[in-house]
């Protein structure tokens, strides 16, 4: 089919009046048919209102096209084409370097992904330097997938491209001539020849750490830092840090990119680390890589405080037998009273079953005179029951003194903010609480300050923080993590829009994901070392002696028992005086 199309192209060109350019147009058509997908629309751009070269191309090219003469080009028109058709496969007929530079700058402002670009020079070229001039303009506007078709004065048509990083030169615009059968879209960024990749980084433990030598950042560590260093090694590139102290990841607000995202949008940097969650606003002004792990964002607050220490002596028995104990006591009193009522002659009238059974329960001596074997048997069983009850009580008391009684956990963020002195977190979380009461007092915390806030929360500060669960997952004994997550969103590296090396960087990241390297790296559980001074998560906890504060609860109980006994004594005195008077 392709061979038939080429024959038809030759026939049509021979019948045209533009014999001087027929071979140039034939080559442009053949290359377009070979390299472009005919099912997609090809954007054809030229400057003149009437161009014989464009007319010849359109008569011969079998694919669908959108015509774009740019005599009236402006920024809005370029954006309209980009949003409707796009410049994914574009052919440009140029006859002036200055005009070509203008249109390339307009296109570069709107495209986010690299495009495949065929440049046809209508005028014969005098030397390779003219081709280099067009290549330099193309490269400065982030286009590397270029096939330049030109014709010299002798009528010889050549195909050329360029390799921006080659022969140890960063920014090499020397034309490299191609032949039919060569790879027309070769990979150009698999080797940077130690040319730099401009990096904007934020120090964000444990994802990014920086290493200095003589006041200069020479390498980065941490989870994402290690991935960046692998990318640099795979692509044979060097590190050039453009900013390291912005401290705000950034987003896109009111038409302006902020923070480190702004460095990508304004082309001050090629890539931004650490990886962060993908949002719609960030997507519009950057070029994201593959999503290679999930960020689980939760609210983290101070651990539950110990409360009600002074009540432990009252309710130490927290077993399932608590209500059974009460039931046994009630049944004993009822049965004993029924026995005494049935046989009052066998029991002294002064015997008070309720009072004396309680005295026995407390371990005190009591005199109970009775001739009823049934009632005596009941009291023997009661003494036996009280013996086991005191053992159970003492065991539960010791256990209660060693067990923390904690305040109720936070059930929701709405409840938590009413119990803390402040709340906040990374900037992106604000979007999840847009137009809610939580947005009003939310404190945006720079990434490099998160570790300080986590440490302060571990030390007991009454603040609740929205952060990545990976930062605190080994700190659960020291903090309180709300069960309901804010978001579980994919994280990716952000690159500047239109960066031609983005595909090669993304291929390295994807290969690391497929190999399982990313999962193994993120499974490292040593990120808690920079928060607390603790050896390992599975350290054996040594028992601690009871503090004076906890031991004092026993004395509180003793004092209250004295008060109760004093009240009973008063009742006994009143009762005795009343009985004596009678």
The domain spans of the chain are 2-178, 314-387, 548-582
Number of C-beta neighbours around residue 537 at 10 A? 13
Residue tagged 């650490």 (tokens)? 274
Residue 4: the pLDDT is 45
Judge whether residue 333 has pLDDT over 50.
yes
Higher per-residue confidence, 317 vs 214:
214
Cross-strand partners of 177: 160
User: What pLDDT, in 10s, does the model give residues 527-576?
Assistant: 444 444 444 444 444 555 656 666 666 677 678 778 888 888 888 788 77
Q: What is the DSSP string of 283-336?
A: HHHSEE----EEEEEEEEEEPPPB--GGGTTTS---STTHHHHHHHHHHHHHHH
User: What pLDDT, in 10s, does the model give residues 410-469?
Assistant: 888 988 998 899 999 888 888 888 888 898 889 988 877 888 898 899 888 999 999 888
Residues in the chain: 582
Residue 133: the pLDDT is 94
d(CA 281, CA 121): 39
User: What pLDDT, in 10s, does the model give residues 371-416?
Assistant: 777 777 878 888 888 887 878 777 776 776 666 677 788 888 988 9
Residue 483: the pLDDT is 87
Residues 6+ apart with CB under 8 A from 550: 309, 401
Higher per-residue confidence, 250 vs 541:
250
Among 326, 391, 336, smallest CA distance to 368 is for 336
DSSP-derived secondary structure letter, 198: E
The tokens of 135 are what? 């290549």
Residue 539: the pLDDT is 47
Q: Per-residue confidence at 55, pLDDT binned at 50, 70, 90?
A: confident
d(CA 575, CA 567): 12
Which class in CATH covers the domain with range 2-178? alpha beta
The tokens of 151 are what? 């014709």
Its pTM surpasses 0.85: no
Judge whether residue 524 has pLDDT over 50.
yes
Residue 164: the pLDDT is 93
């Amino acid at each position: 089919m392709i061979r038939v199309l080429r024959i038809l192209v030759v026939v049509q060109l021979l019948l045209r009046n533009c014999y001087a350019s027929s071979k140039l147009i034939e080559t442009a058509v053949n290359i377009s048919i070979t390299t472009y997908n005919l099912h997609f629309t090809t954007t054809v751009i030229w400057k003149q209102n009437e161009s014989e070269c464009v007319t010849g191309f359109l008569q011969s090219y079998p694919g669908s096209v959108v015509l774009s003469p740019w005599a009236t080009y402006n920024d809005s028109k370029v954006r309209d084409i980009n949003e409707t058709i796009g410049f994914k496969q574009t052919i440009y007929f140029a006859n002036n370097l200055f005009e070509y530079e203008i249109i390339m700058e307009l296109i570069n402002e709107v495209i986010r992904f690299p495009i495949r670009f065929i440049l046809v020079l209508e005028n014969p070229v005098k030397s390779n330097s003219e081709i280099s001039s067009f290549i330099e303009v193309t490269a400065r506007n982030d286009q590397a997938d270029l096939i330049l078709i030109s014709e010299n004065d002798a009528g010889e048509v050549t195909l050329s491209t360029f390799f921006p990083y080659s022969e140890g030169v960063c920014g090499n615009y020397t034309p490299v001539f191609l032949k039919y059968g060569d790879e027309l879209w070769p990979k150009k960024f698999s080797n940077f020849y130690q040319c730099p990749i401009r990096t904007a980084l934020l120090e964000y433990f444990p994802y990014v750490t920086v290493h200095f030598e003589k006041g200069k950042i020479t390498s980065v560590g941490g989870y994402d830092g290690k991935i960046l260093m692998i990318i640099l090694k795979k692509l044979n590139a060097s590190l050039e840090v453009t900013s390291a102290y912005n401290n705000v990841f950034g987003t896109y607000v009111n038409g302006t990119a902020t923070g480190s995202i702004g460095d990508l949008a304004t082309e001050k940097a090629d890539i931004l680390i650490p990886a962060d969650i993908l949002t719609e606003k960030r997507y519009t002004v950057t070029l994201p890589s593959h999503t290679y792990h999930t960020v689980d964002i939760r609210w983290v607050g101070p651990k539950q405080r110990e409360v009600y220490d002074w009540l432990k002596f009252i309710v130490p028995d927290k077993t399932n037998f608590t209500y059974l104990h009460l039931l046994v006591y009630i049944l004993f009193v009822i049965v004993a009273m029924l026995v005494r009522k049935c046989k009052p002659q066998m029991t002294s009238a002064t015997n008070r079953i309720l009072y004396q059974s309680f005295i026995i329960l407390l371990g005190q001596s009591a005199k109970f005179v009775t001739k009823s074997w049934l009632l005596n048997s009941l009291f023997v069983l009661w003494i036996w029951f009280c013996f086991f009850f005191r053992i159970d009580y003492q065991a539960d008391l010791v256990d209660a003194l060693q067990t923390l009684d904690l305040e109720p956990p936070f059930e929701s963020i709405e409840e938590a903010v009413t119990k803390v002195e402040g709340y906040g977190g990374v900037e992106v979380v604000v979007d999840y609480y847009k137009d809610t009461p939580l947005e009003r007092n939310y404190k945006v915390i720079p990434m490099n300050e998160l570790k300080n806030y986590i440490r302060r929360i571990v030390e007991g500060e009454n603040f609740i923080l929205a952060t990545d669960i990976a930062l605190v997952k080994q700190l659960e004994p020291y903090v309180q993590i709300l069960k309901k997550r804010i978001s579980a969103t994919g994280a990716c590296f952000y690159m500047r829009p239109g960066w031609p090396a983005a595909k090669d960087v993304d291929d390295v990241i994807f290969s690391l994901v497929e190999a399982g390297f990313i999962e193994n790296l993120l499974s490292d559980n040593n990120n808690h070392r920079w928060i607390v001074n603790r050896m390992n998560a599975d350290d054996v906890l040594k028992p601690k002696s009871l503090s004076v504060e906890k031991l004092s609860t026993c004395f509180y109980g003793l004092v209250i028992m004295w008060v109760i006994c004093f009240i009973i004594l008063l009742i006994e005195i009143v009762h005795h005086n009343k009985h004596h008077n009678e």
